[in-house]
Each structure stands twice: as structure tokens, then as C-alpha cells.
Chain A
């Protein structure tokens, strides 16, 4: 298995634009997590899914953030409209019921 795959690896966008981050979890994993990492705050959980259903989105900072998981092999995190303070590295991780979690390589987002 290729592991958790995220795209794009880097994204630079202008303030106010819509940004969509993508994640393909490891096949067979039934949990999917979206994290944000900044120097100041470290890793923060934004939202997680179990069997494609959002379970806890209390970490989503604002209504500008939304996440979907239309099927077991794909999830998106969307920011609309984006702001400079959204600049961070966004990680997706997946986990099976009896396995450790595996993280993707992250998407570095820069909003100018």
C-alpha cells in the first residue's frame, strides 16, 4: 500500500480564494482524520470520520472550513474563503480499528 496520499503537496493561493485539499486513506482503514499543524500551536485535530460519517468536527475553526468523505477512499477539506491565518500544514491520517494511525505527507498551504 502506498500509504495515505494527500494532494497537493504545496498550495499557494490569494486571500479570498477557495482551497480544496484532498486525501486518499489507506485501503481498509475506517477512520480518517484531518489535522492542522503550525509552529505556534503544533498539531490540532480539525475533524474525524468513522466509516465515512463525520463524528467530531469541534476542531473546525470556523464555518469557512468544511470536510466531506463521499466514499471510503476519498476525503476533502475545503476552505472558503481562505485567509492568511489559515496558512499551515494540513495532515490527513487514517486508522483501522486495530491499527495505529498513519499520516500522509501533508499539504503546505500558504495564503497571501
Chain B
């Protein structure tokens, strides 16, 4: 069964600290993996997208990694800011195009002052 699991479910960190969110997937055939940020009351916004051959990709203070062998990904946030408080969703695309996406249920991050 195609599944995406994320951990932790929720996380509280102090402003300025780093954190790492985890994503494990059992999706086949794999096409790519995306990380989305979803602010409260808003739609998800894409942060990064990685294909099978990419190990890491950065977007500002966000760095995503992908290990296609172990089917694991992580999203590292450096020097967290209050505006990083949001849900972070890991999404894996099947090799049939964007249309076939498997969503994780997300990690809810709260950055505290």
C-alpha cells in the first residue's frame, strides 16, 4: 500500500533553534518527493521538489534530503523564525505524473519566542 508517514506529529522549538522533520514512504513507482508548507488557514505552498537522483535541495533556510534506497526524506530548518510556525507536509508522487500524489498527514511546527 502506498503510504507516507511523518514524524513527529507536532513539535515546539524556540526561535533561532534548528529542527529536522522526518518522512518515510512506501510509494512505488516513485517519481519525486515534495515538501509543502501550510500556514494556518491557507493552502499548501511548495518548498522543495526532489527526483530520484537528487540527495539534497535547499530553499533558503530549508534543506531537504532524500535517500531513495531507504525511502526516507528529511526537512531541516535552520535558525527558525516565528513565521516558520506551520504544518509541513511530505508528498510523494507516483511515476504517473503529478496527479497521483500520496500525502503525509504533516508535522505541525510551533516556533516559540
Q: Once the chains bind, are A4 and B43 in contact (CB under 8 Å)?
A: yes
Instruction: Please tell me the number of chain B residues within 8 Å of chain A, measured between CB atoms.
Output: 15
Q: Once the chains bind, are A43 and B49 in contact (CB under 8 Å)?
A: no
Given contacts A42-B104, A105-B43, A106-B42, 6 further A-B pairs with CB under 8 A are: A42-B105, A42-B106, A43-B89, A44-B103, A102-B43, A104-B43
Q: For the complex, is A34 an interface residue (Cβ under 8 Å from B)?
A: no
Alpha-carbon distance between A93 and B38 when the two chains are bound, in angstroms: 14
* Chain B residue at minimum C-beta to C-beta distance from A48: B99
A interface: dominant SS: strand
Contact with A56, one of B45, B99, B104 (Cβ below 8 angstroms): B99
Q: For the complex, is A15 an interface residue (Cβ under 8 Å from B)?
A: no
- Of B41, B42, B49, B99, the most chain A CB neighbours within 10 A belong to B99
- Chain A proximity mask over B37-76: 1 for CB below 8 Å, otherwise 0: 0000111111001000000000000000000000000000
CB distance from B22 to the nearest CB of A (A): 16
CB distance from B32 to the nearest CB of A (A): 11
Alpha-carbon distance between A49 and B66 when the two chains are bound, in angstroms: 30
CB distance from B62 to the nearest CB of A (A): 15
For chain A, the bracket of interface size reads 20 to 34
Q: For the complex, is B101 an interface residue (Cβ under 8 Å from A)?
A: yes
CB distance from A65 to the nearest CB of B (A): 18
CB distance from B1 to the nearest CB of A (A): 14
